[in-house]
């Protein structure tokens, strides 16, 4: 806190302390009302709701605006009140008031509605966004990293040869002397399919492309060509993309379906398709989820057809490897997943999103074809060719354990200008069908 702010708050505290003494004396003279009655109520958890008068008007409690004291926190009165309400081990506070019944009551507000609209309630994240002054500062400072083509404004990007090893200092120097600079990793794409890629980075470290994430349409391309024919050479900027960014993704609620391949393979006794690591069952390394697997899992769960606008979520169990540092290397080395035949079948059904509990959705390494040098072709098939975004690290284990294969999928996206992804976890809502396994 700045020194002038600190002095202001100290002087204010002294003033309020004096007022509290005066108020307390007045309360004693008046027979125990006023401030002391308010403090006693706060310490014991008494109800302070405003009084309703016979004519329907409300008598406002004036003690709500009396002086504020932290003594109740220091002597334990505040804790006694919250512990009495929620228990000594509570870490939720008033979120305890949200129960399955209150959720059901809220959802009933939509009953009878012919159309349901979702609304964005967040503030757009942009570079230089104001924040409360602290040190190190609260600062939003996004940069774009790209590979696979040469951007028009190449001079606005560090190259792998010139960026040096100075890290944050180099970024700050560039900000001062040349304006914000992005990262250019090279003109050659990944694999023989020339997969180009954008991701965001922050000078102090970090990205939205981590853990549970929502791959956006500006994430991957074919050279400089991205979804809908947009030319990345024209929309790449040092701080993000000027087209196809996360700011265009609105909040949405839709049907989610769980395609439980792990449960299917366990039920089939398909030992070659399975493995157990640290007590957790999961699909085998590089197991390809076939179209027949998808259809059999849907039939086993009594799911109808995938409908346009659905979110399709695959369960493989692979996420358990990402929970334990001793298995991080295995988690990233390979993964089970779908390939082109399955992706194209899904495309025919027009889902809004295809997701899995793996880090990249598709089987890795890729299925040997006439061109084994191809890499992340499912990403290009879904995102670039068909405009279908990908969810990674989307965990549906709890839904599956409760016997739920059809649910309400709710997503409020990262609202960040020009970002290539969001790592806000989605939410599922459903009626539990059976106890946990």
Tell me the two tokens of residue 385: 């060719």
Residue 426 maps to a domain: no
Looking at per-residue confidence, does 138 or 390 come out higher? 390
Q: Backbone dihedral region of 272: left (phi > 0), alpha (psi from -120 to 50 degrees) or beta?
A: alpha
Same domain, 306 and 397: yes
Distance CA(148)–CA(163), nearest Å, equals 18
- Rounded to the nearest 10°, the torsion over CA 325, 333, 423, 128 is 90
Residue 203 maps to a domain: yes
Least confident of 38-52, 139-153, 269-283, 286-300: 38-52
- H helical segments located in 30-167: 34-44, 71-74, 77-86, 100-107
pLDDT of residue 348: 95
Beta-carbon count within 10 A of 301 CB? 18
pLDDT of residue 9: 45
Residue 59 maps to a domain: no
Strand partners, 419: none
Beta-carbon count within 10 A of 430 CB? 17
pLDDT of residue 432: 82
Q: Answer yes or no: are the C-beta atoms of 255 and 408 closer than 8 Å.
A: yes
Beta-carbon count within 10 A of 258 CB? 26
pLDDT of residue 366: 78
Q: Domain range holding 240?
A: 143-246
Flag whether pLDDT at 50 surpasses 80: no
Cα torsion 416, 418, 419, 420: sign = positive
DSSP at 53: P
pLDDT of residue 55: 54
pLDDT of residue 30: 38
What is the count of structural domains for the chain?
2
Same domain, 230 and 268: no
Same domain, 258 and 240: no
Tell me the two tokens of residue 120: 């964005």
- CATH number for the domain spanning 376: value is 3.50.30.50
Same domain, 269 and 391: yes
Beta-carbon count within 10 A of 388 CB? 21
pLDDT in tens, 410-433: 999 999 999 999 999 999 999 887
Flag whether pLDDT at 259 surpasses 70: yes
Same domain, 203 and 335: no
Cβ-in-10-Å burial (0-12, 13-18, 19+) of 227 comes to buried
Least confident of 95-99, 187-191, 332-336, 432-436: 432-436
Q: Answer yes or no: are the C-beta atoms of 347 and 386 closer than 8 Å.
A: yes
Tell me the two tokens of residue 14: 């002294």
Residue 39 maps to a domain: no
- H helical segments located in 301-339: 328-333
Same domain, 360 and 272: yes
Q: Which of these three, 226, 246, 266, is where a domain ends?
A: 246
Q: If pLDDT is split at 50, 70 and 90, which confidence band does 25 have? A: very low
Residue 58 maps to a domain: no
Same domain, 327 and 223: no
Residue 428 maps to a domain: no
Distance CA(412)–CA(389), nearest Å, equals 15
Same domain, 384 and 319: yes
pLDDT in tens, 310-343: 999 999 999 999 999 999 999 999 999 999 999 9
Percent of the chain residues topping a pLDDT of 90: 59
Same domain, 224 and 282: no
3 state SS of 70: coil
pLDDT of residue 20: 42
Distance CA(76)–CA(82), nearest Å, equals 10
Long-range contacts of residues 169-177, Cβ cutoff 8 Å, at least 24 apart: 171/141, 171/143, 171/203, 172/203
Q: Which of these three, 193, 218, 246, is where a domain ends?
A: 246
Q: Which residues does 420 contact at the CB level (< 8 Å), separation at least 6?
A: 144, 198, 199, 200, 208, 209, 215, 216, 218, 219, 240, 241, 245, 246
Q: Answer yes or no: are the C-beta atoms of 280 and 317 closer than 8 Å.
A: yes
Same domain, 270 and 156: no
Distance CA(240)–CA(416), nearest Å, equals 9
> Phi and psi at residue 150, in whole multiples of 5°?
-105, 120
Same domain, 268 and 391: yes
Three-state secondary structure along 133-160? CCCCCCCCCCEEEEECCCCCCHHHEEEC
Same domain, 193 and 291: no
Q: Answer yes or no: are the C-beta atoms of 265 and 274 closer than 8 Å.
A: yes
pLDDT in tens, 200-241: 998 767 899 999 999 999 999 999 999 999 999 999 999 999
Q: Are strands 389-392 and 353-356 parallel, antiparallel or unpaired?
A: parallel
pLDDT of residue 44: 39
Flag whether pLDDT at 51 surpasses 60: no
pLDDT of residue 431: 87
- H helical segments located in 218-327: 232-235, 261-268, 291-300
Residue 133 maps to a domain: no
Q: How confident is the model over 102-109, as a mean pLDDT?
A: 90
Residue 73 maps to a domain: no
Q: Which of these three, 246, 268, 299, is where a domain ends?
A: 246
Q: Answer yes or no: are the C-beta atoms of 247 and 418 closer than 8 Å.
A: yes
pLDDT of residue 16: 43
């Amino acid at each position: 806190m700045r020194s002038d702010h600190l002095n202001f708050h100290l002087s204010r505290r002294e003033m309020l302390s004096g007022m509290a003494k005066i108020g307390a004396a007045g309360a004693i003279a008046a027979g125990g009302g006023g401030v002391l009655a308010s403090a006693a109520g706060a310490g014991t958890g008494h109800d302070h709701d405003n009084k309703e008068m016979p004519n329907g008007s409300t008598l406002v409690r004036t003690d709500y605006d009396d002086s504020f004291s932290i003594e109740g926190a220091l002597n334990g009165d505040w804790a006694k009140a919250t512990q009495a309400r929620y228990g000594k081990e509570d870490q939720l506070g008033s979120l305890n008031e949200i129960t399955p019944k209150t959720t059901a009551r809220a959802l009933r507000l939509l009953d009878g509605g012919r159309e349901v609209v979702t609304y964005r309630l967040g503030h757009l994240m942009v570079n230089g966004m104001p924040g409360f002054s602290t040190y190190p500062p609260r600062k939003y400072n996004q940069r774009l990293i790209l590979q696979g083509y040469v951007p028009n404004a190449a001079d606005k990007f560090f190259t792998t040869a010139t960026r040096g090893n100075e890290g944050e200092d180099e970024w700050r120097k560039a900000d001062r002397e040349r304006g914000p600079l992005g990262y250019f990793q090279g003109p050659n794409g990944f694999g023989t399919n020339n997969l180009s890629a954008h991701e965001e980075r922050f000078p102090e470290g970090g990205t939205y492309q981590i853990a549970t994430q929502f791959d956006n349409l500006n994430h991957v391309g074919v050279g400089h060509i991205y979804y809908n024919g947009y030319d990345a050479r024209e929309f790449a900027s040092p701080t993000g993309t000027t087209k196809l960014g996360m700011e265009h993704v609105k909040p949405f609620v839709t049907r989610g379906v769980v395609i439980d391949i792990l449960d299917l393979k366990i039920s089939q006794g398909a030992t070659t398709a399975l493995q157990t690591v640290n007590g957790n069952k999961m699909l085998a390394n590089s197991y390809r989820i076939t179209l027949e697997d998808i259809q059999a899992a849907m039939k086993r769960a009594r799911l109808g057809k995938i409908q346009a606008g659905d979110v399709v979520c695959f369960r493989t169990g692979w996420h358990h490897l990402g929970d334990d540092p001793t298995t991080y290397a295995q988690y990233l080395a390979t993964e089970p997943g779908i390939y082109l035949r399955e992706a194209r079948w899904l495309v025919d059904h027009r889902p809004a999103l295809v997701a899995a509990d793996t880090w990249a959705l598709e089987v890795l390494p890729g299925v040997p074809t006439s061109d084994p040098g191809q890499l992340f072709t499912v990403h290009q098939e879904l995102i670039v060719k068909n405009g279908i975004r990908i969810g990674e690290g989307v965990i549906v284990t709890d839904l599956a354990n409760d016997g739920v294969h059809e649910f309400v999928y709710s997503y409020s996206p990262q609202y960040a200008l020009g970002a290539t992804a969001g790592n806000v976890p989605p939410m599922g809502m459903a009626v539990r069908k059976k106890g946990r396994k």
